[in-house]
Amino acid sequence: MLARIFKRGKSSMQSGPAKANLWFLEFDTNDSKKLDPLMGWTGSSGTQGQVRLKFESKQDAIIYAEKHSLAYTITENEHRKPVIRKNGYGENFATNRKISWTH
């Protein structure tokens, strides 16, 4: 069984990297999904596709995979440099502004 170790990227709904420090281990499912003819739902007989394990570090996930004799692949995201403006959003509401702030 093949496992995938990865670090989830920052959500597009986030402005910061909160909850992006965890590493995950997921099992790749090789079985195809079946379509239920009556209801139209998709499903499969394997439950490993529903399992997602969380780890504090990449090394912990690797140790777990090797301990349980799992073949694994590691996927790493490219890291962006954070964009920090000199005068951020809070500067719009400073009390010592020389120019009035309008929309």
62 lies in a domain?
Answer: yes
Inside any domain, residue 65:
yes
Q: What is the mean pLDDT of residues 14-32?
A: 80
Q: How many domains does the chain have?
A: 1
Does 92 reside within a domain?
no
Of the CA atoms within 13 Å of residue 24, those in its CB half-sphere come to: 14
**Is residue 98 assigned to a domain?**
no
End-to-end CA distance of the chain: 57
Task: Give me the residues paired with residue 23 across strands.
Answer: 7, 55
Query: Domain with 72 in it: what CATH number?
Result: 3.30.160.190
- What is the percent of the chain where pLDDT is above 90? 32
Question: Domain range spanning residue 48?
Answer: 1-10+19-31+42-78
What's the pLDDT band for 42 if we cut at 50, 70, 90?
confident
Q: Is residue 87 part of a domain?
A: no
pTM for this predicted structure:
0.66
Helix (H) or strand (E) holding 99: none
